[in-house]
Chain A
């Protein structure tokens, strides 16, 4: 003890590197270093992942000569707002947006209704064959759509529905396995007592569904609605096989034909693409919580 004390009185010559080393070994410093690393990697990834979007906005505000300059001019000078009205009036984007709205909107209604009603049968009612059918539905979840694609096309063709919007929004009214599954998982978690109490009060099953269970599953419905809207809005394949008439195009198809004609007009192309993305983007910002909760619910507990 005495030795250390006397040593402490003598100024110890410590090398700079040694001092840095002992400093770095401190716990709090180690933690700060780790966090510094985490934040720098996150920042770098965030920049990499959002740069295309920033570039897209910037390009959508440039004219033909500004687009092809190097190095990239991030803030266009002058800003060319006219790209938007010009691009969107070059082809019938308004009409296409209407078609997209109809298909996406009707699909949302269809999926919400059918998922709620069918999930009610699977989650809250006891009937013979329920468990077998539920297993069938689970296997349908994994079923790739290719094997049903061609016969479905032939059926809708027989009905005279090719070149109409019907094949794009009628099937949702018969329920999608995925949505029913989510809704069922959600409904199963509600307490049994809810149904029993409603029955005591003389509700029939339909009333139990609409008055008791329905209001409880609005979050799940919200997720199904958002997800359906996004999927249908972005859907390219089904419109591609069912629609030939440009008057009936959805935005996805329209944008592709627009790209075919205006491949060199990058400003127009980016303006139109951004306009097509906008509804989904806006929806995402306003409903982010539902969206994320739903994704998590399906991904982790599914």
Chain B
């Protein structure tokens, strides 16, 4: 069956294809599951969804309505901008907090401490356990009267708020919930820290740098690609938040945790406005792309890539010579 894949070298039959042609064919063949999948499940649907966003398709009938969906998003449907603002506020709060806490924990774990693997397990475990069970747990933790958090606060004589029921703080409670999973970013930063060569610190010490200066001038620049990578992934991920809000608050109270994805979900799968929901999806797509591009533009200024640095150095040396 795979005889045509046989390289020419030791094939006793006269091959019908030259070796490079065989390799060519084999390449396409082995890549075909993904190529088919990409066309059928990604590229096709993307174009389909783009087309659909200009119609009012609702599973039963459709009509071409031009830009009406996109106009309606900003004129009639005030939940679009509202949910977008909730989502962006969540992203701008949770992504930096994950960065700070994850990075600080990683710095602590990088101090030649004893029992590293035990500490790592303790901090990492919660982030492995994402999902409905964790959300159910946190709903109880944040319960107004007998929840864990308010029971503990009561020990200090503080009457805790209704974390998920107060529209002013519900969104922040969700950020708090997400911080329980800070272990995954901690782990990545820790690995990055362990990859920084010790000679760099030795050199810095010889130059008389104290701990803080070492952090600023060695650690952070060396870590910047990892930080950047996590920042991009974090933004993309947090803009698509759905589960937590859907299960814990259902978007309430008073739409204070009504994430963009909740709006998209209810339009697509509850009201079956597939055309309109496709337009919503494209708006989210554009927002994500814009933000990513912004981060990339902004990142070029402070991310330090060793390879490019070496290349430039070489160039400079050559130029000088």
Contact of A291 with B128 at beta-carbon distance under 8 Å, contacts A146-B281, A205-B5, A270-B140 already known: yes
Contact B52 A151 (CB under 8 A): yes
Which of A199, A237, A295 sits near B187, CB closer than 8 Å?
A: A295
A204 touches B243 (CB 8 A): no
Q: Can you show 19 pairs from A to B with CB atoms below 8 A apart?
A: A49-B123, A55-B148, A72-B148, A125-B30, A126-B23, A127-B26, A149-B281, A150-B52, A152-B41, A177-B34, A180-B34, A204-B2, A204-B5, A273-B132, A281-B128, A284-B125, A295-B187, A296-B188, A299-B226
The answer for the CA separation of A118 and B129 in the assembled complex, in Å, is: 30
Please give the distance in Å from B193's CB to the nearest CB on chain A. Answer: 10
B91 is an interface residue with CB less than 8 A from chain A: no
Residue contact B137 to A270, C-beta cutoff 8 Å? yes
**Residue of A with least CB distance to B129:** A277
Assess the A295–B229 pair: CB atoms within 8 A.
no
- Which residue from B37, B126, B130 sits with its C-beta under 8 Å from A171? B37
- A142 and B24 contact, Cβ closer than 8 Å, known pairs A118-B31, A256-B247, A300-B188: no
Instruction: Let me know if B46 and A67 touch, CB within 8 A.
Output: no
**Residues A154 and B126 in contact, CB atoms below 8 Å apart:** no
- Closest CB in chain A relative to B205 CB, distance in Å: 13
Quick one: given A133-B35, A154-B274, A292-B187, are A144 and B140 in contact (CB under 8 Å)? no
Tell me if A117 is interfacial: C-beta within 8 Å of chain B. Answer: yes
Q: Which residues in window 240-297 of A have CB below 8 A to B?
A: 240-241, 251-253, 255-256, 259, 266, 269-270, 273-274, 276-277, 280-281, 284, 288, 291-292, 295-296
Given known pairs A39-B113, A233-B131, the reply for A147 and B281 (CB within 8 Å) is yes
Q: Is B292 an interface residue (CB 8 A)?
A: yes
CA distance A67 to B195 in the complex (A): 47
B281 — which chain A residues lie within 8 A by C-beta? Answer: 146-147, 149-150
The 10 A-B residue pairs whose C-beta atoms are closest, nearest first, are A174-B37, A127-B27, A234-B131, A299-B188, A151-B45, A121-B30, A296-B191, A121-B31, A273-B133, A175-B34
Residue A230 lies at the interface, judged by CB distance under 8 Å to chain B = yes
Residues 115-154 (chain B) with a chain A CB within 8 angstroms: 119-126, 128-134, 136-141, 145-146, 148, 151-152, 154
Mark B301-317 against chain A: 1 for CB-CB distance below 8 A, else 0. 00000000000000000
What is the total number of residues of chain A having a CB less than 8 Å from a CB of chain B?
A: 98
User: A284, B128: Cβ atoms under 8 Å?
Assistant: yes
CB contacts (< 8 Å) of A151 on chain B: these are 44-46, 48-49, 52, 278
Evaluate contact between A50 and B240: CB separation under 8 angstroms. no
- Could you tell me if A255 and B133 are in contact, using CB atoms closer than 8 angstroms? yes
The interface of chain B, by Cβ under 8 A from chain A, is 2-3, 5-7, 9-11, 20, 23-31, 33-38, 40-42, 44-46, 48-50, 52, 105, 108-109, 111, 113, 119-126, 128-134, 136-141, 145-146, 148, 151-152, 154-155, 180, 182-184, 187-188, 191-192, 195, 226, 229-230, 232, 236, 239-240, 242-243, 246-247, 261, 264-265, 268-269, 274, 277-278, 281-282, 284-285, 288, 292
Separation in Å of the B14 CB from the closest CB of chain A? 16
**In the assembled complex, which residues on chain B have CB atoms less than 8 Å from the CB atom of A144?**
236, 239-240, 284-285, 288
Shortest C-beta distance, B101 to chain A (Å), equals: 9
Known: A52-B148, A140-B42, A147-B46. A174 touches B34 (CB 8 A): yes
Inter-chain contacts of A292 with B (CB < 8 A): 120, 124, 187
A171-206 vs B, CB cutoff 8 Å, 1 = contact: the mask equals: 101110100100000000000000000011110111
Complex Cα–Cα for A149 and B152 (A): 42
Looking across the interface, which residue of chain A has its beta carbon closest to that of B177? A52
Q: Which of A3-11, A15-23, A40-48, A214-222 contacts B (4 or more CB under 8 A)?
A: A40-48
Distance in angstroms between the alpha carbons of A284 and B97 in the assembled complex:
25
A42 close to B33 (CB less than 8 A): no
Q: Taking CB as reference atom, which chain B residue is nearest A126?
A: B23
Q: Which residues of chain B come closer than 8 Å to A202, judged between CB atoms?
A: 6, 10-11
Assembly CA distance A130 to B28 (angstroms): 8
Please determine whether B125 and A255 come into contact, CB atoms closer than 8 angstroms: no
Given A147-B46, A269-B136, A277-B134: A128 touches B126 (CB 8 Å cut-off):
no
Q: Which residues of chain A are within 8 angstroms of B124 by Cβ–Cβ distance?
A: 292
Q: Which residues of B contact A46 (CB under 8 A)?
A: 119, 122-123
Instruction: Using A42-B108, A114-B34 as known contacts, list a sample of 15 further A-B pairs with CB atoms less than 8 Å apart, ordered by residue number in A.
Output: A67-B146, A72-B152, A140-B42, A147-B46, A152-B45, A155-B40, A155-B41, A174-B33, A175-B37, A204-B7, A234-B130, A234-B132, A235-B131, A270-B137, A292-B124
What is the minimal beta-carbon distance from B304 to any residue of chain A, in angstroms?
Answer: 15
Residues of B within 8 A of A302 (CB): 229
Interface string of A225-240 (1 = CB under 8 A from B): 0000010011111001
Give A236 to B261 CA distance when docked, in angstroms: 13
Within 8 Å CB of A277, what residues of B?
Answer: 129, 131, 133-134
A280 touches B129 (CB 8 A): yes
A136: interface (CB < 8 Å): yes
A87 CB to closest chain B CB (Å) equals: 12
A84 close to B (CB within 8 Å): no
Q: Which of A120-137 contact B (CB under 8 A)?
A: 120-122, 125-130, 133, 136-137
